[in-house]
Amino acid sequence: MKFKVFGRNSGLRVSELALGTGNFGTGWGHGAEPEEAKKIFDQYVSAGGNFFDTANAYQRGESESLLGDFIASDRDQFVVATKYSNATAPDAGISRTGNSRKNMVRAVEESLKRLKTDRIDLYWVHISDGVTPMEEILRGLDDLVRSGKVIYAGLSNFPAWRIARADLMADLKGWSPIIGIQIEYSLAERSPDRELIPMAESLGLGITTWSPLGGGFLTGKYREHHMDTRLTKLGMLVHTEKSEKETELLNMILSIADELGASPTHIAIAWLLDKAARSTTSIIPILGPRTVEQLDATLGALDISLPPEMVARLDAASAVALGVPHEQINSSYRSLSGGNDLQVLIKPA
């Protein structure tokens, strides 16, 4: 597995695929038992991976606890990322959720105990609560970095305008920078192409992408198992064939997989890796296997090289309309340049 520097705002070195540990444990009533979770961990490390993504809320804290056990013997070799914002338990109460400094300070102490470590390499604000001022979030993260309990900070599932404002604010105030964002992104969900990815590339933010298989949709397995219990357990996290576009996309993936003698899983991940290779920043897909067999099936994508023609077909089948004002801007380049071919010169950096 190759390694990348995570964005242009840090020197953090991470593997090209991260291991998401949301399935470590059974606190949600589904997931991997500790023995299976350890096998997944060992297989990922054997493949050269060093980047782990968890959260205080995953499996009601069990994910962090198990990961803490697994990394203990060689802590310095691993990059551990966790998150706060969501409740660890259903009865957590209003003061134990959200982006507030109060919840941040409490959550980081609990995560450090579960992870059995003295620092968190990358601390994500899990999701925007729409209430807490960005100044409060950034100052809280800066204090955690200065204390040594957190090394780097990032924003997960935030709108682009808030991330851009946070990036500038941290720079002007001399606070610890935001080094990356975490978003859902895959062949099944390309809306970040409108704002989030161009913003991250411009600002030099690293990108981690969750649900690279669209919750399993891109594997094609739900065509044969329409009543799969995962659909009812995860709900909105699983994409489905809700329109002709999804059907055409899945048909395209299955066709390309057949042409290359690969699996649909390989194609979906290989497309992301190709996207990462074409990007001006680092894009790191987060794998979220529940079994070691699922991990093995996913890691096989590292051996797939998609021909440019196939990438173009997948790009076209999965593309989303950019909307306002991007489509108007794109159509106006020529008139703005007096009819000359100056698109590259007048496009914003």
pLDDT tens column, 149-191:
999 999 999 999 999 999 999 999 999 999 999 999 999 999 9
pLDDT tens column, 187-246:
999 999 999 999 999 999 999 999 999 999 999 988 865 545 555 555 556 888 888 999
Which residue type does 90 have? P
Q: Residue 97's Cα: distance from chain center in Å? A: 21
For the chain, the first-to-last Cα distance in angstroms comes to: 31
pLDDT of 80 above 80 = yes
What does the block give as tokens for 124?
């994500």
Q: Which residues are known to be catalytic?
A: 58
| Contact of 221 with 254, CB cutoff 8 Å | no
* 3-318 homologous superfamily: NADP-dependent oxidoreductase domain (3.20.20.100)
Beta strands in the chain (DSSP E): 3-5, 13-15, 18-20, 51-53, 79-84, 120-125, 150-156, 178-184, 206-210, 283-287
Q: What is the mean pLDDT of residues 246-263?
A: 96
**What single-letter DSSP state applies at residue 52?**
E
> What residues does each domain of the chain span?
3-318
User: From CA 300, how far away is CA 7, in angstroms rounded?
Assistant: 25
